[in-house]
Structure 1
Amino acid sequence: MEVFGLKNCDTCRKAMKALPEAQLRDVRIDGVPADVMAQAHAQFGNKLVNTRSTTWRGLSEIERAGDPAELLKTHPALMKRPLIKAGDRLFLGWTAQTEEEVRAAL
């Protein structure tokens, strides 16, 4: 199981604490593999972009209107976190419901 996020993100830390068997992949350092990003974009679409982040607020209107996949390549911290890959399934964010679904997928 892989958790794509940021090592200093509180939500990612909560997910890692609940999923000690998972490996954290820091998106700023490691990025997200192209196949995983393509699957995530197909599954979550625009929900993959965190429009409440400081990075988002710093973008111009032209940049914001761009393709979400391209935005995430350029600005990996824009991704809503965490993105969890459990087997062949992906989960986005960390809630009690997400935790139940991830555990059921194992």
Structure 2
Amino acid sequence: MLTTAQALAAIAVMAGVTFLTRALPFLLFDRGDAPPKLVLYLGRVLPPAIIAMLIVYCLKGISFTSAAGWIPQTVSIAAVVALHLWKHNNLLSIFGGTLLYMFLVQTIFA
């Protein structure tokens, strides 16, 4: 259990780090100039790379020994892809796939 002083110190450190991560881009890059080419490259490349890493992490435990081990994941992935191609909305794709997966796991493949 933290004392009051420890809790306040932890909150202050977290607030400071959060503030710095939000303010640092404005301090590093002048508003008049275009961002460096490296930043533009990372902004273009990192989101798909992170999504691919999350997909690999989420599917690393898939089991093909029974239908309940792979059908809910496969159907949900197909739904996420279809929703994203249809509406181009990340939140809709993520929430739609998650809701479908939870429905399949808790009702049909329970």
Identify the TM-score tier after normalising by the shorter chain: under 0.3
TM superposition score normalised by structure 2: 0.24
Q: Using structure 1 for the length normalisation, give the TM-score.
A: 0.24
> Which fold has the larger relative contact order, with Cα–Cα distance below 8 Å and residues 6 or more apart in sequence?
1
